[in-house]
Chain A
Amino acid sequence: MLELRAVRHRYEGRVVLDLEQFTLPRTGSVAVVGHNGAGKSTLLRLLALLEAPTEGRIVFDGTAVPRRAPASLRRRVTLVEQRPILFRGTVRENLEYGLRLRDVGRAAINGIIGDAVDRLGLAPLLDRRRHELSDGEVQRVAVARALVLRTDVLLLDEPASSADRAAAGALYRTLAAERAARPFAVCIASHQLEDAYRWADDIRSLADGRLSPVTPENLFRVDLPPGDGVKHVPVGSIAIVVMTDRSGPAVLAVPPTDIFVSREPLPSSARNVLRGRVTGLAIEHRGAGVLVRADLGGVELIAAVTAEAARDLALTPGGAVVFSFKASAVQVF
């Protein structure tokens, strides 16, 4: 539905985004993960039709978007920025802003706002002004201000960054309920793995402005055995040692930066020592880092090492490798 084709975007001569193809399906939910500065916000600004790419084009419903996107197209997409801001005036006036731009009548505006306020639990905030709201409340109002517009595409830049975990959970539940009632495309930029995994059909990883062929986080859907403490959790044909009190369905994540890479097993406190073969090497951070992808007995894991370490270990595709990580490094969601 919304596509970037052969897009290369520069700021002050520096390439900040370089994407051969990026598609947001009509009712899909896509999470874009990556570190700060990976190009996530730029990608969202292009998708929001607020900027034209330096090279390449944006295609919306099969039609190329002109460099200055007409308001009729821009109004089908909306973006909630990281650290959103409310305009001067009450929460109600903020919710009305985009509807007024769309020449929605007074009665219809009242109906839409009333409906949204009920669904999103904003009634106590309606007559408040921005300085009377907490960061989390501002975030909720900003999301509501975008949702009332009923756009075809909703873009959220780090939507949970200023909210606590409970508030973030509520935000995502709201989104899920809205999408169940009226399907629309959502694209969320996040550096929080949990958000990405829970709320998106599709996770794409951005590094240095490019789509990384792999999601750097090593995610596994598992069924945790009951009991406390150290558990050997089956993942495919191997077992990962985890420290958790949780049981039942969960997601394990092994942060790539917490994995030690060696050619031979090393004596250490790491409870997970997995032998395998290198299946791929991807250079990141402008040559300073390397993502080492390895097949470890049928399960693929990715480790992040410095380019220097990769050189010293003489890592090559097909070569033997050992990945080690502590049980406590494994995150459980």
Chain B
Amino acid sequence: MDFLAEGLRRAWTLLVAGDSEVYGIALLTLKVAVVATFISCTAGLPLGYFLATRAFWGRRAALTVVNTALAFPTVVVGLLLYGLLSRRGPLGGLGWLYTWQAIVIGDVLLALPIAAALSAAAVQGVDPRVRRTAETLGASPWRAAWTVAREARFALAAVITAAFGQVVAEIGAAMIVGGNIRGQTRTLTTAVALYTAQGDFGLALALGLVLLLLALVVNIALQVLQGRGNA
């Protein structure tokens, strides 16, 4: 128990003192998570809407693929991406291996199916008459989609939260394609794993608490936005 209490004390000291390493890692994690969530939702939400509302050949197969991708192991995504980005890989020329951009790509690959599958489910939950009615009143396809999205906005906000949660807590791909380089690609999750292995439990705990705090702040922010939208 002493060991746990000691860890918490050290974590508290690091956080209060504004330890540059802790905050540097937290900032990088936030940057990666925000960029990856933005990209995956910008692509995933329209994709989900499309899958939910359009009848086309292979739609069911596409939905199956997206739903299967939900359970894709993060280390496998990291491994495949490593193969693509490594010097001998087809995208090796980009020189992105062991950069924060590589972590973003890995996170997008993992969060995109979440955004697409959950937003498809959210849109399917909206009464189909909403889209039809928007069209009868003269809405363009985009405007009709926006009207449907407004009806499903609580569910869609939950989709964004889920995508962010996936991205911020991801470790497998970040470790493999990021390389956990201090000051460059060390994210909260990879740092926690590293410091725990090194026996620096206090630092690991401090970073774990920051991770929790980050998730909490983002969730509260989304809830506030939802509340405003409902007014």
Q: Which residues of A contact B (CB under 8 A)?
A: 48, 50, 71, 74-75, 78-81, 83-85, 87-88, 97-98, 101-102, 145-146, 149
B130 pairs with A87, CB closer than 8 A: yes
Contacting pair A145 B151 (CB below 8 A)? no
Q: Is the CB of B133 within 8 A of A87?
A: yes
CA distance A72 to B176 in the complex (A): 53
B20 at the interface (CB under 8 A from A): no
Q: Shortest Cβ distance from A47 into chain B, in angstroms? A: 11
Instruction: Tell which of B127, B136, B143, B147 touches A79, judged by Cβ atoms closer than 8 Å.
Output: B136
Q: Is B182 an interface residue (CB 8 A)?
A: no
Q: Which residues of B contact A145 (CB under 8 A)?
A: 137
Verify B136–A87 contact, CB threshold 8 A: no
User: Which chain B residues lie closer than 8 Å to A146 at the CB level?
Assistant: 136-137
A81 to B134, CA, bound (A): 11
Name B residues whose Cβ lies closer than 8 Å to a Cβ of A.
127, 129-130, 132-140, 143, 147, 150-151
Check A101/B137 contact, CB under 8 A, given A87-B147, A87-B151: yes
Q: What chain A residues lie within 8 Å of B143 (beta carbons)? A: 101
**Complex interface: chain A residues within 8 A of B130 (CB):** 85, 87
- Do residues B137 and A149 form an inter-chain contact, with CB atoms below 8 A? yes
Distance (whole angstroms) from the CB of A40 to the closest CB of chain B: 15
Contact of A50 among B127, B135, B147, B150 (CB under 8 A): B135
Chain B residues with CB under 8 A of A84: 129, 133
CA distance A85 to B127 in the complex (A): 9
Query: Chain B contacts of A149 at CB under 8 A?
Result: 137-138
Other A-B pairs beyond A81-B132, A84-B133, A85-B127, 16, CB < 8 Å: A50-B132, A50-B136, A75-B138, A78-B136, A81-B133, A85-B130, A87-B130, A87-B134, A87-B150, A87-B151, A97-B134, A98-B137, A98-B138, A101-B138, A145-B137, A146-B137
Q: Given A83, A88, A97, which contacts B137 in the complex, CB threshold below 8 Å?
A: A97
A-chain residues with CB within 8 Å of residue B150 when the two chains form the complex:
87-88
CB of B55, distance to nearest CB on chain A (Å): 10
> Chain B residue with minimal CB distance to A85?
B129
Report chain A residues within 8 Å CB of B136.
48, 50, 78-81, 146
- With A87-B147, A87-B151, A88-B150 in contact, do A78 and B137 touch (Cβ < 8 Å)? yes
CB neighbours (8 Å) of B147 from chain A are 87
Query: Who on chain B is nearest to A151 by CB?
Result: B138
Contact (Cβ within 8 A) B139 A101 = yes
Complex formed: what's the CA distance from A269 to B9 in Å? Answer: 99
CB pair B137–A81 under 8 Å, yes or no, is: no
Name B138's closest neighbour in chain A (CB-CB): A75
Given known contacts A71-B140, A78-B138, A102-B138, A88 and B151 CB-to-CB distance under 8 angstroms: yes
| Cα–Cα, bound, A74→B129 (Å) | 17
A78 and chain B: residue at smallest CB distance: B136
Residues of A within 8 A of B132 (CB): 50, 81
CA distance A146 to B133 in the complex (A): 10
Assembled-state Cα–Cα distance A97/B139 (Å) = 9
Residues in chain B near residue A88, CB distance under 8 A = 150-151
B133 / chain A contacts, CB cutoff of 8 Å: 81, 84-85, 87
A sample of 13 cross-chain residue pairs with beta-carbon separation below 8 angstroms, ordered by A number, consists of: A50-B135, A75-B138, A78-B136, A80-B136, A81-B129, A81-B132, A85-B127, A85-B129, A87-B133, A87-B147, A87-B151, A97-B134, A146-B137
Chain A residues with CB under 8 A of B151: 87-88
Q: Shortest distance in angstroms between B140's beta carbon and chain A's nearest beta carbon?
A: 6
B129, B135, B143, B151 pick with most chain A CB within 10 angstroms: B135
Please determine whether B129 and A83 come into contact, CB atoms closer than 8 angstroms: yes
CB distance from A144 to the nearest CB of B (A): 12
Chain B residue with the shortest CB-CB distance to A72: B138
In whole angstroms, how far apart are the Cα atoms of A167 and B129 in the complex?
Answer: 23
